[in-house]
Amino acid sequence: MQQYERFEIGARVLRENLFFMGLLINILKDHIKWRHQIFKLAKSDIIKTYSGSALGWAWAVIKPTILILIFWFVFEIGLRVQNGAEGIPFILWLISGLVPWFFMDEMITGGTMAYLVYSYLVTKMKFPVSTISTFIGVSKLIVNLFLMAIVVVIFCLYGRFPDIYYLQLPFYILLMFLFFVNWALFAAMLSAISKDFMNVVASLVTAVFWMSGVMFNVRGIENPVIKTLLKFDPVTFLAEGFRDVFIYKVWFWDKPYDCAAFAVMLLLMIILALWSYKKLNKEIPDVL
């Protein structure tokens, strides 16, 4: 009897895994089939974001510049915080981790509202809803790549020119994109069903910013429990990864435990995204 129950459990787990694999393959097929529309909608999303104001696209640079200058003044001039990187100006340490955060922040908040903003794609058009989070991610990433190019220019002005470690930039950009597109797919589903979830995310995003390694030196933490927890924080991993490229000059394979922890979180995020898509995909049009 026990062997039969074990067999039933094993068969059920196998069926679930096969279903998730099939679902993932179908989503990837939708992305391939609708790839041209994805890029067109990403372009439209950028235009929509910055249209209607006198300065237009300039806000893509003005807003983050103002935030960077505020943080630089508060932490370096006011609090005299040390960045933990000897010989590196604080402003360089700051922008190398803060600029990627702008993309993460946009995806945490904007990605959560994806289906509400583009409800007409869900209710009035035959459009694969799984691609909505992707074109929003592409839209935000294009703007962030422009900001990252400015970061490279600023480093050059300080006499720190691109080197071989810059080859890691596409790796960290891809990981950042994959994680937060899956987050958007997961969160957009839940927020479309419940506005309470959207409010919870909006309330916690500030805590994520301050408790992750964006604004403080993770390398200076001595508490082993906190250090271990931060290894499983995707925001910390990505912020430190970009700083490894620009400042610390560390290859990602020299941090196997950090990469393994991020891989676990990425896999978990993909599973959650597939789970929410499976459970709620058919209900979303009726709710919206």
What pLDDT tens digit does each residue of the chain (288 aa) get? Answer: 545 455 455 445 445 555 567 788 888 888 888 888 988 989 888 888 777 665 667 777 888 888 888 888 887 777 666 665 667 888 899 899 999 999 999 999 988 888 888 888 877 767 788 899 999 999 999 999 999 999 999 999 988 999 999 999 999 999 999 999 999 999 998 888 888 888 889 889 999 999 998 988 888 888 888 888 899 999 999 999 999 999 999 999 999 999 999 999 999 999 999 988 888 777 777 666
Distance CA(172)–CA(179), nearest Å, equals 11
Residues 228, 164 within the same domain: yes
pLDDT for res 56:
66
pTM of the model: 0.89
**Alpha-carbon separation of residue 255 from 174, 218, 262 (angstroms):** 18, 14, 11
The total domain count for the chain is 2
Residues 91, 147 within the same domain: yes
Residues 22, 87 within the same domain: no
Residues 194, 281 within the same domain: yes
Amino acid at 283: E
pLDDT for res 181:
95
Distance CA(219)–CA(250), nearest Å, equals 13
Distance CA(17)–CA(25), nearest Å, equals 12
pLDDT for res 13:
45
Residues 111, 163 within the same domain: yes
Give just the sign of the alpha carbon dihedral 254, 257, 262, 267. positive
* Burial letters 196-215, b for 16+ CB under 10 A, else e: ebbeebeeeeeebbebbbbb
Residues 9, 43 within the same domain: no
Q: Both tokens of residue 73?
A: 């003044």
Residues 27, 55 within the same domain: no
- Residue 72, φ and ψ in degrees, nearest 5: -60, -45
Distance CA(114)–CA(284), nearest Å, equals 12
Residues 27, 130 within the same domain: no
Residues 178, 207 within the same domain: yes
Residues 63, 114 within the same domain: yes
Which range marks the domain in which residue 128 is found?
Answer: 38-287
Q: Both tokens of residue 19?
A: 């279903």
Asked if 271 and 263 touch (Cβ cutoff 8 Å), the reply is no
Residues 1, 134 within the same domain: no
Q: Both tokens of residue 187?
A: 């969160």
pLDDT for res 265:
96
Biggest CA-to-CA distance, the chain:
74
Alpha carbon dihedral 74, 75, 76, 80, in 10-degree steps, equals 110
Residues 4, 52 within the same domain: no
pLDDT for res 192:
84
Residues recorded for the chain: 288
